[in-house]
Structure 1
Amino acid sequence: MKWYFLVVFLFVVSICLVSGADKPKDDHHKDDHEHHKDDHEHHKDDHEHHTDDHEHHKDDHEHHDDHHDEHHDDKHNAEQKDGHGKNDDKESKSLTEEELDEHEKNKGKEKDMSEEIQTENVTYKATSAVYMDILKPVEHEEGHKNETVRLIIGLFDQDVPKTVQNFRDLCTGAKGFGYKDTPIHCIYASFFIQGGDWEFKNGTGGRSTFKNETTGQYSYFEAENYKIEHSDAGFVTTAPRKENEHGSQFIITCEESNWMNEHHVVFGKVLEGQKHINEISFIHTEDNKHAPKYPVIITECGIHNLKEPVLVTSTRTTHSHSEL
């Protein structure tokens, strides 16, 4: 019986010991759990604080980047202004000075040129004249028909006597050759017509009525002067073979042709028949060349007697610096 109570006693004691031992463990676990919970909350707070710090840092970083960019731009602009910009300013200043110097020089020149170049109306006197009868094709749907038209050309004997003598002698045939039965071999619509090649009748020949002193052969002659300008339609001018070599070929203008000045010698003016010149210039050409599709022929030519000299108005451009 004693043994039984002893066993029960020991069993109760062991239970108490086990219970006492488990309780502190649970309390400690609970405390640990609470502590862990607190740590977790603290960590959460720290995390949120860290997040806030991160966002704040991000904002600071972005603000810093913006500030850095602004600072960089300001610095860059400052560097451009203070460094490279100075070179640009210097170059610009230098260029401006050069431009100003050049402008001042040109300004003086322009001022001088405006004072030196003058264009004025000038009257020339046609003291003699010639006529030309021209076979002019008139085009229509079925082809063309020919009609003969007459030109009266006044000549400026007083201004270019040698050139006029050459043309007149070719019109009269005084040297045994001339314009009779020769073609207008080149036309430019509303620009000019060209003829006078008594040698080959295609624009490749056309010596003058003057002989070369060395060879004794009919040859070319130098320009007398370029006094009269190509300021209007109807001026009759030389068609030189090359620079300053004038022969028998001539041009009649259909418009102002001042680009010919200083290269071609004006010696006459169409007094009658300019409308025929304009119409001839519009005849169709052969194979996109400047030869008329239908023959345009000078059938007759010679002296036309003027009752009195005819005054012809042109323009004259004076360059005082070139005339000094």
Structure 2
Amino acid sequence: MVFFDMTIGGAPAGRIVMELFAKDVPKTAENFRALCTGEKGVGKSGKPLHYKGTAFHYMIPGFMCQGGDITRGDGTGGESIYGDKFPDEKFVHQHTPGMLSMANAGPNTNGSQFFICTASGPWLNRHHVVFGKVVEGMDVVNNIVKVGPHSRSCTKSIVIADCG
């Protein structure tokens, strides 16, 4: 289990607790877990390998919210604990509400960016690796999704204030 303590517009918004599918997709789950704890230190980019202090930069109301750009913060960057990018693992789980999935730029381009589904997205199956699910705090996720427009500019900052 890992967690995010979220803020919206600088105000506390609640905690999201996530279970990771380490048995099904061990490399992907370990990447996310270590980025939550920050235990790997600094990456090749010179930036901390840590989600703490990073923003959710992309929301589609009624569908998903995306974050995890630890290098640039705007959705154009990211870095895994394994270096730059790492390959897709198994496509075992489906994109349904509450699922955590890797954001990517095509096959085998997983880094640190991820998204949380608030609706089903069957067209994403076999293209993005699902590696966990929200077990507490789906209300927080739904509030986050409501903040952002269907673009990469949000109306308020949505930040992972703490994680582990």
Note whether the superposition's TM-score is higher than 0.5: yes
Letter in 2 for 1:206: G
State the TM-score, normalizing by the size of structure 2: 0.91
Q: Deviations over 1:269-298 (max 9, x none)?
A: 00001111112111144xx73321110000
Does 1:135 find its partner at 2:7?
yes
Question: Who is 2:18 aligned against?
Answer: 153
Q: Deviations over 1:2-57 (max 9, x none)?
A: xxxxxxxxxxxxxxxxxxxxxxxxxxxxxxxxxxxxxxxxxxxxxxxxxxxxxxxx
Does 1:234 find its partner at 2:98?
yes
Does 1:252 find its partner at 2:116?
yes
Unaligned runs of 5+ in 2: 42-48
The 8 Å contact of residues 101 and 131 in structure 2, kept in 1 or not, is answered as: yes
Letter in 2 for 1:133: D
Question: Whose helix proportion is higher, 1 or 2?
Answer: 1
The 8 Å contact of residues 241 and 247 in structure 1, kept in 2 or not, is answered as: no
Question: Who is 2:163 aligned against?
Answer: 301
Q: Deviations over 1:179-220 (max 9, x none)?
A: 00000000000110000000000001101110xxxxxxx210
Shift of residue 241 of structure 1?
Answer: 2.8
Larger Cα-atom Rg: 1
Q: Work out the CA distance in 2 between the residues paired with 1:219 and 1:284.
A: 28
Q: Work out the CA distance in 1 between the residues paired with 2:69 and 2:137.
A: 21
The 8 Å contact of residues 91 and 130 in structure 2, kept in 1 or not, is answered as: yes
Q: Work out the CA distance in 1 between the residues paired with 2:151 and 2:112.
A: 22
Question: Who is 1:80 aligned against?
Answer: none
The 8 Å contact of residues 86 and 108 in structure 2, kept in 1 or not, is answered as: yes
Percent sequence identity is 39
Where in structure 2 are the equivalents of 1:9-158 lying within 5 Å?
A: 129-137=1-9, 146-158=11-23
The 8 Å contact of residues 60 and 151 in structure 2, kept in 1 or not, is answered as: no
Instruction: Compare 189-198 and 145-154 and name the one that shifted more.
Output: 145-154
Q: Work out the CA distance in 2 between the residues paired with 1:251 and 1:160.
A: 16
Q: Work out the CA distance in 1 between the residues paired with 2:148 and 2:24.
A: 36
The 8 Å contact of residues 13 and 140 in structure 2, kept in 1 or not, is answered as: no
2:107 aligned to which of 243, 254, 262: 243
Letter in 2 for 1:183: A
Q: Deviations over 1:106-162 (max 9, x none)?
A: xxxxxxxxxxxxxxxxxxxxxxx101001024xxxxxxx722310000011110011
Does 1:219 find its partner at 2:84?
yes
Larger RCO: Structure 1 or Structure 2 (Cα < 8 Å, ≥ 6 residues apart)? 2
The 8 Å contact of residues 59 and 148 in structure 2, kept in 1 or not, is answered as: no
Q: Which runs of structure 1 show a deviation greater than 6 angstroms over 4 or more consecutive aligned residues?
A: none
Matched residue count = 157
The 8 Å contact of residues 244 and 263 in structure 1, kept in 2 or not, is answered as: no
Letter in 1 for 2:156: Y
Question: Who is 1:193 aligned against?
Answer: 65
The 8 Å contact of residues 136 and 149 in structure 1, kept in 2 or not, is answered as: no
Shift of residue 175 of structure 1?
Answer: 1.4
Q: Work out the CA distance in 2 between the residues paired with 1:262 and 1:242.
A: 11
Q: Work out the CA distance in 1 between the residues paired with 2:60 and 2:124.
A: 15
Question: Who is 1:205 aligned against?
Answer: 77
